[in-house]
Amino acid sequence: MKLAILSDTHGLLRPEVTEYLKHADVILHGGDINRQSIVDELRKYAPVYIVRGNNDREWAEDIPHDLTFTLNGINFYMVHNRKEVPADLSGVDVVVFGHSHKYVQEERGGILWLNPGSCGPRRFHQEITMMTADLTEGTLHVEKISIPHEAK
């Protein structure tokens, strides 16, 4: 199973990002989507697991604040802001979050923490990133995708 993991698109779905979405079996979005049209476009490519970010207002009332789900035996917990992750992560294998626009891929206490960074408009002079992952036989192999700064 191929995953595309993104966050903080802030109303911009770049052509470089959609190239990866074309090959995804599932898309995870860590919030700050900013527009329903982005959600609609994501759903054209694959099933979407999505959480509401701090910039997602009235239009996103039906999008959950946090989400727990299982893909191929791997238990995921997803929330926009890392500070809102609950203390008890019993049974969780992977935490996906966004908000900071900073790429994170680290294992702590047997849990894989993933922030794909931001692949929307470049902000704070940070790199533009997302992730892809292969989920095979209960193992997740993550790859960082950097989009050139020349991209808008």
Q: How confident is the model over 64-123, as pLDDT tens digits?
A: 999 999 999 999 999 999 999 999 999 999 999 999 999 999 999 999 999 999 998 887
Contacts of 45 (CB under 8 A, 6+ apart): 4, 18, 21, 22, 24, 27
Beta bridge pairs of residue 70:
75
What is the Cα–Cα distance from 139 to 65, expressed in whole angstroms?
26
Beta bridge pairs of residue 80:
none
* The two three-digit tokens of residue 116, written as one number: 């794909």
Side chain identity, residue 79: V
For residues 16-43, average pLDDT: 96
Residue 152's alpha-carbon distances to 12, 36, 90, 122, in angstroms, are 10, 21, 40, 7
CATH architecture of the domain 2-147 equals 4-Layer Sandwich (3.60)
Q: Please, what is the average pLDDT of the chain?
A: 93
Give me the residue spans of the domains in the chain.
2-147
Per-residue pLDDT band at 138 (split at 50, 70, 90): confident
Give the pLDDT score at 124: 66
Give the pLDDT score at 26: 98
Give the pLDDT score at 150: 63
Per-residue pLDDT band at 151 (split at 50, 70, 90): very low
Give the pLDDT score at 126: 82
